[in-house]
């Protein structure tokens, strides 16, 4: 494919699809990987993370050929639009990519550039591993007990919701329909009212839960917990739980996956759970926020609709030191777009002080997905070594008395040095 503003690297090979049915990738040792540095602090953490990830790949005998692509502010400067078609096509063509945070300007035509990329590329699973790094400040007594992976549905629920503004003719038309045609006249308050609907589908729910269960099996995790508010929203969030349990019960052998709905624990006597089977159970979202803090070691993998996943993954990130070190990635069939959990933080842009750890560890997740587990492990170990030794950016330094404050660039160099030492 030829591009208008994108300059492909002079060398490198494309990552291709090895198996159409499973989405398995064929990854060369010198892949071309598109990268969006991002807006705000992305202009600093993007290059910093790129430097670290390049060093880790080289240290494990591999070569990443980065291809700079554009969205947000840099795209407006080049294309006079926020999300150019050729950026989307470049990511689609090369299948594996990484991006920094993006800011969606007012009147951009998108609710969110991040959401637009996920929906356009059908990256239906937002995956966020949450684990403690030695030396990171945390408000928790035992932050190392947290080792959890959240799977958040990425294309529907509030991401595909429709709203009508209070005081408009449209909202009154919807209100009349709900009250008169559907017979729900007692649910609407008097006076101005905003109305919204959100879709949660069988297809979207099942493929997310399937992804979470497969991850648990492949990574020797003990349990997948479906998190929703089905006691109130019975036909959206409640159905998410029901469809998820159907996946566990119908698509996997009992000795591999054991479905354990709440009703199971109401039975008398001991429950016979097959040894080594992944247990799939359910929790209400509000209760889960409590259990994440009180009993984090009892939960492995969480699967949930979009909005619950947003709240819960951020809350999990807070327990291990904050979003500055919280990685993530968006997965679709034969595609991945890695990205940090945090936003673009415009107020800190241009100061060379932002923490690039979240984007670096998102790169680790990307490396693991393409089968470079040793590269990913080296990234994690080097980051942890750097933080534990007290070489940190301002956000961590201010919480530690024994730390040395580094700029974004200096921190990246420190991690690279530790990569070379550990390799």
Residues annotated within a binding site for Mg(2+): 310
Binding site, by residue number, is 103, 112, 114, 118, 128, 152, 310, 355, 394, 398
Q: Is 229 annotated in the active site?
A: yes
Catalytic residue among 170, 222, 286, 297: 286
Q: Is 252 annotated in the active site?
A: no
Catalytic residue among 39, 157, 300, 310: 310
Q: Is 170 annotated in the active site?
A: no
Binding site for NADP(+), by residue number, is 103, 355, 394, 398
Structure tokens given for 24:
């398995």
Binding site for D-threo-isocitrate, by residue number, is 112, 114, 118, 128, 152
b/e per residue 336-368 (b: at least 16 CB within 10 A): bbbbbbbbbbeebbeebbbbbbbbbbbbbbbbb
Catalytic residue among 99, 229, 353, 385: 229
Angle separating helix axes 357-369 and 373-388, nearest 10 degrees: 160
Catalytic residue among 159, 252, 299, 411: 159
Q: What is the set of active-site residues? A: 159, 229, 286, 310
């Amino acid at each position: 494919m030829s591009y208008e503003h994108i300059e492909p690297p002079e060398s490198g090979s494309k990552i291709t699809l090895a198996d159409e049915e499973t989405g398995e990738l064929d990854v060369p040792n010198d892949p071309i990987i598109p990268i969006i540095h991002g807006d705000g602090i992305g202009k600093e953490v993007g290059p910093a993370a790129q430097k670290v990830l390049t060093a880790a790949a080289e240290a494990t005998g591999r070569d990443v050929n980065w291809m700079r692509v554009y969205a947000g502010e840099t795209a407006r400067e080049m294309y006079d639009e926020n999300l150019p078609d050729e950026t989307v096509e470049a990511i689609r063509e090369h299948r594996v990519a990484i991006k920094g945070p993006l800011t969606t300007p007012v009147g951009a035509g998108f609710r969110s550039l991040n959401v637009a990329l996920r929906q356009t590329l059908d990256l239906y699973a937002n995956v966020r591993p949450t684990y403690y790094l030695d030396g990171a400040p945390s408000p928790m007594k035992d932050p190392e007990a947290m080792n959890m992976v959240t799977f958040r549905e990425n294309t529907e629920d509030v991401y595909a919701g429709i709203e009508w503004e209070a005081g408009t003719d449209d909202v009154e038309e919807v209100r009349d329909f709900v009250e008169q045609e559907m017979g729900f006249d007692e649910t609407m308050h008097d006076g101005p009212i905003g109305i919204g609907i959100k879709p949660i589908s069988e297809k979207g729910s099942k493929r997310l839960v399937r992804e979470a269960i497969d991850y648990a099996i492949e990574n020797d995790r003990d349990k997948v917990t479906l998190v929703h508010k089905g006691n109130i929203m019975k036909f959206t969030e409640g159905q998410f739980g029901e469809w998820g349990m159907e996946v566990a019960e119908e698509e996997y052998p009992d000795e591999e996956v054991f479905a354990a709905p709440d009703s199971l624990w109401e039975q008398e006597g001991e429950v016979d759970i097959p040894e080594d089977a992944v247990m799939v159970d359910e929790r209400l979202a509000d209760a889960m926020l409590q259990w994440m803090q009180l009993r984090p070691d009892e939960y492995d993998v969480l699967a949930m609709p979009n909005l619950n996943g947003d709240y819960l993954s951020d809350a999990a990130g807070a327990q291990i030191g904050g979003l500055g070190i919280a990685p993530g990635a968006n997965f679709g069939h034969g595609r991945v777009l890695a990205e940090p959990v945090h936003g673009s933080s415009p107020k800190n842009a241009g100061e060379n002080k932002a923490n690039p750890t979240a984007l670096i560890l998102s790169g680790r997740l990307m490396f693991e997905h393409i089968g470079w587990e040793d590269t990913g492990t080296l990234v994690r170990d080097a980051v942890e070594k750097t933080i534990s030794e007290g070489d940190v950016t301002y956000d961590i330094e201010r919480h530690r008395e024994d730390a040395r404050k580094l700029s974004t660039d200096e921190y990246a160099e420190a991690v690279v040095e530790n990569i070379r030492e550990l390799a």
